[in-house]
């Protein structure tokens, strides 16, 4: 497995692969890798001939009072995991290689970023789309894999790639959960034992909502308030938002479900803010 630090080097690696007729798959990460990330790497390996993983804790997607300084890191552990999965190269650029002095260019996606996490994190997504643009120009992959756990991010990246006509296929990876249902996240490592125990309710409340929809419930008033109160029954959990949105446009669903939707939430614990989401398909997905 090759370790790469420079933008020129990563571009050369990628171009050499493509010159050999190989398809390059790319999994951008902020490190502190867990089974969720590894599942994205396996998807890349199954779809491309070469897989490159980047590890870069991107400062521009953190707000001024967010957890950039205590974002967990474990380079040795990350590299061991990449090796196990069979990743071909890991790109770990220093900050100056991503944002040279005087950098002042932003890539923004307008409509998709106003709601959900964009409401309380107004500069978050332009940080994501900008860093992903930079990485895409450096790595020039044929495909890139993004997890559905950050569902809004996935839709925003898809829209950016389509609008700016980047020749890159965006491949979604399903959410990977712990045995108790908690969505895997690097930020779970920051939770106390008590917070971690209470975090189980996020997934439980979402799966309750899905059951209700499968039983024929389509009114949001019969779904959203109950999801909120189930989560807030946990003393350390404070709901940032629970929203039901169109699965593609992320526009809020009004009144009742009429087509494929996503229920998404963000919940603040004292030590970390967690997100999760779940598809809601009225009439049942593939059911009679």
Q: For residues 128-147, which are near its own copies according to CB under 8 A?
A: 129-130, 133-134, 137-138, 140
The single residue among 86, 111, 122, 259 that binds its own copies, judged by CB under 8 A, is 111
Active site residue 34: no
| 16 touches its own copies by CB under 8 A | no
Length of the chain: 288
First to last CA, the chain: 48
Residues 6+ apart with CB under 8 A from 46: none
Among the listed ranges 59-67, 76-84, 105-113, 205-213, the one in contact with its own copies (CB under 8 A) is 105-113
Q: Is 215 exposed, middle or buried (0-12, 13-18, 19+ CB in 10 A)?
A: exposed
The span from the CA of 215 to the CA of 186, in Å, is 34
| 105 touches its own copies by CB under 8 A | yes
Helix axes 124-139, 151-163, angle to 10 degrees: 60
| 165 touches its own copies by CB under 8 A | yes
Closer by beta carbon to its own copies, 64 or else 100: 100
The span from the CA of 172 to the CA of 115, in Å, is 21
Q: Return the closest-CA partner of residue 175 out of 53, 81, 278.
A: 278
Among the listed ranges 79-87, 144-152, 160-168, 222-230, the one in contact with its own copies (CB under 8 A) is 160-168
| 11 touches its own copies by CB under 8 A | yes
* Active centre residues (catalytic): 37
Q: Using CB under 8 A as the criterion, which residues of the chain lie in contact with its own copies when the complex forms?
A: 7, 11, 99-100, 102-112, 129-130, 133-134, 137-138, 140, 159-160, 162-167
């Amino acid at each position: 497995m090759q370790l790469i630090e420079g933008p020129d080097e990563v571009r050369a690696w990628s171009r050499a692969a493509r010159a050999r007729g190989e398809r390059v798959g790319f999994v951008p990460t902020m490190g502190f890798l867990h089974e969720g990330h590894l599942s994205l790497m396996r998807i890349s390996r199954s779809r491309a001939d070469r897989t490159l993983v980047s590890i870069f804790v991107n400062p521009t997607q953190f707000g001024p009072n967010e957890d950039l300084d205590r974002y967990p890191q474990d380079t040795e552990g990350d590299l061991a995991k990449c090796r196990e999965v069979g990743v071909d190269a890991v790109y770990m650029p220093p900050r100056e290689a991503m944002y040279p002095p005087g950098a002042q260019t932003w890539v923004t996606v307008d409509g998709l970023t106003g709601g959900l996490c964009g409401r309380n994190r107004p500069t978050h997504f332009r940080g994501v789309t900008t860093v992903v643009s930079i990485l895409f120009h450096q790595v020039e992959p044929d495909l890139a894999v993004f997890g559905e756990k950050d569902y809004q991010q996935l839709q925003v990246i898809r829209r950016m790639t389509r609008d700016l006509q980047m020749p890159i296929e965006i491949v979604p990876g399903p959410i990977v959960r712990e045995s108790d249902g908690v969505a895997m996240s690097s930020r779970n490592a920051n939770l106390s034992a008590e917070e971690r125990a209470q975090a189980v309710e996020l997934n439980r409340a979402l799966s309750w909502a899905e059951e209700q929809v499968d039983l024929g419930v389509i009114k949001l008033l019969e779904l959203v308030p109950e999801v909120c109160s189930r989560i807030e029954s946990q003393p350390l959990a404070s709901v940032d938002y629970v929203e039901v949105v169109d699965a593609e446009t992320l526009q809020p669903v009004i009144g009742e479900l009429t087509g494929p939707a996503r229920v998404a939430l963000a919940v603040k614990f004292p030590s970390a803010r967690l997100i999760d989401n779940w598809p809601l398909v009225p009439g049942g997905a593939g059911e009679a």
